[in-house]
């Protein structure tokens, strides 16, 4: 089942094209890694897909009324600023707002969603702490939990694992993979190619505003594309422990 479909989505900012003819369908069960060098257009693609940026072309998500959009897609932006000194539990409950009628108090189902999201991100010990006083990585996990609490068919996350320690990076990718395996569609942008290769079911590679490759990680991460798009050489091995992928050298 297709959860997101983009058709020739294009964005120009200050007269400069930064997203060009992005066409993409994401289905339930997929964990899509959006990869590409700095400035390739990953954030722009996600923001245009969400309808947060004016774009030409079509996004099935941007076409939805605002409330339905919020029930369809959870969005975790790159900026991790938490503005209010509320508890972790309260912040995660904000993810439930699209499911509540105006002025309504959280129902049992909302509390249950928050509990599940906190447990998934191992945040139970922090649930009564003030969110603004947590470390950067802890705040990132809280914001992922808020997105999970929305319990939407689609999750879009912009560099969700940046700044997390290795254990939480792996655990978070496993959480996303688990959500995909249970029928969600997940799109994450990330710079960590080893984790992208290992956990994503599909990679979409961007370069200078265009999608230049889309497919299984092995098919996308070819030596030629790595050299041309990322200017690196990498070791790529299939092992009993799954694929091991490691950039090792810059090529200019
Ligand atoms: N408000 C803006 N005005 C003009 N240009 C912008 C604006 N926002 C982004 N851009 C440009 O659009 C291009 C794509 O940026 P985008 O943030 O989508 O890239 P990205 O792939 O997410 O990069 P990164 O990996 O560095 O986060 C960049 O060249 C950037 O400088």
Pocket of ligand 1 (CB under 6 A): 13-14, 18, 36, 38-44
E strand segments, 108-241:
154-158, 185-189, 202-207, 210-215, 232-239
Encode the chain (252 residues) as per-residue pLDDT tens digits: 999 999 999 999 999 999 999 999 999 999 999 999 999 999 999 999 999 999 999 999 999 999 899 999 999 998 877 888 999 999 999 989 888 877 688 889 999 999 999 999 999 999 999 999 998 888 888 998 999 999 999 999 999 999 889 998 998 899 899 889 989 999 999 999 999 999 999 999 999 999 999 999 999 999 999 999 999 999 989 899 888 899 999 998
Nearest residue to 118 (alpha-carbon basis) of 102, 138, 98, 133: 138
Annotated domain spans of the chain:
2-250
Give the residue, by CA position, lying nearest to ligand 1 atom 1. 13
22 φψ region: left (φ > 0), alpha (ψ -120 to 50), beta (else): beta
Give the residue, by CA position, lying nearest to ligand 1 atom 16. 41
For residue range 127-162, what is the model confidence (pLDDT) as tens digits? Answer: 999 999 998 888 888 998 999 999 999 999 999 999
Topology annotation, domain 2-250:
Rossmann fold (3.40.50)
Gap from CA of 196 to ligand 1 centroid (Å): 21
E strand segments, the chain:
2-13, 16-27, 31-35, 56-59, 73-76, 154-158, 185-189, 202-207, 210-215, 232-239, 242-250
Instruction: Supply the ipTM of this predicted assembly.
Output: 0.96
Q: What phi, psi does 14 have (nearest 5°)? A: 50, 45
């Amino acid at each position: 089942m297709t959860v997101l479909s983009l058709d020739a989505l294009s964005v120009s900012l200050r007269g400069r094209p930064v997203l060009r003819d992005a066409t993409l369908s994401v289905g339930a069960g997929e964990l899509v890694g959006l990869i590409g060098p700095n400035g390739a257009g990953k954030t722009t693609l996600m923001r245009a897909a969400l309808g947060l940026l004016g774009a030409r072309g079509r996004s099935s998500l941007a076409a939805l009324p605002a409330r339905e959009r919020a029930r369809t897609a959870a969005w975790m932006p790159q900026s991790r600023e938490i503005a209010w000194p509320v508890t972790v539990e309260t912040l995660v409950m904000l993810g439930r707002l699209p499911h509540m009628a105006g002025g309504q108090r959280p129902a049992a189902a909302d509390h249950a969603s928050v509990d599940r999201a906190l447990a998934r991100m191992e945040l139970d010990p922090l649930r009564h702490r003030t969110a603004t006083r947590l470390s950067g990585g802890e705040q990132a996990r809280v914001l992922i939990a808020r997105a999970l609490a929305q319990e939407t068919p689609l999750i879009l996350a912009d560099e969700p694992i940046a700044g997390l320690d290795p254990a939480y990076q792996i655990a978070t990718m496993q959480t996303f993979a688990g959500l995909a395996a249970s029928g969600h569609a997940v799109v994450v942008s990330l710079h960590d190619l080893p984790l992208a290769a290992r956990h994503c079911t599909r990679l979409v590679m961007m370069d200078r505003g265009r999608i230049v490759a889309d497919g299984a990680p092995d098919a996308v991460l070819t030596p030629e594309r790595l050299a041309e798009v990322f200017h690196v050489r990498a070791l790529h091995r299939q092992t009993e422990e799954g694929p091991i992928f490691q950039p090792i050298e810059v090529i200019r």
